[in-house]
Amino acid sequence: MSARDVESRPSPIAGLGLFAKREFAPSERIAPYSGTMATEPPPEASPGGKVYTLEIAPGRWLDGSSADNPSRHANHACHPNAELIWHEEETTAWLTAQRPIAAAEEITFDYAFSLAESLFHPCACGAADCVGRIIAAPLRPALRRHLRFSRPRD
């Protein structure tokens, strides 16, 4: 489990993606999401800019924008194959396999955005049941109901 086990390359989901260079078993650590800790939220991204900062606990952010952090390229998916798990004792987060991951498969996780955040972030994961926004899995049914009732009627 090291950065040598993954690679960043163009993704059909968005920009660069993170891809497995070998198979991973369920619950296996894939790669760390490393960076510097901050007590202030990140600045707003410039147009077309990217923000790789995660809120790992209330008032604590992990800035993963460093080129030394290949995990920053892991894209969101509605049916991810990995999850990001914070390990307080190690002060790092790990992408961890949720199911078997094949070599060359794109590694994805649920960004778990709030409803407010989701309004500014379209989802392009391609899942048949994708709601079209990057939003936490438990919030997707409510967003579907909202979108269904807010569409123009004949």
pLDDT digits (tens, 9 = 90+) for 36-70: 888 877 776 544 567 777 777 788 888 877 888 88
Please, which contacts does 44-52 make with residues 24 or more away whose CB atoms are closer than 8 Å?
Answer: 50/15
Same domain, 101 and 116: no
Largest CA distance in the chain: 57
Domain count of the fold of the chain: 2
Distance, CA of 18 to CA of 8 (rounded, Å): 5
Same domain, 20 and 33: yes
Mean pLDDT of 95-109: 94
Same domain, 8 and 19: yes
Same domain, 90 and 31: yes
Closest CA to 1 of 97, 76, 92: 97
For the cut 90, the answer to whether the pLDDT of residue 104 exceeds it is yes
Same domain, 21 and 91: yes
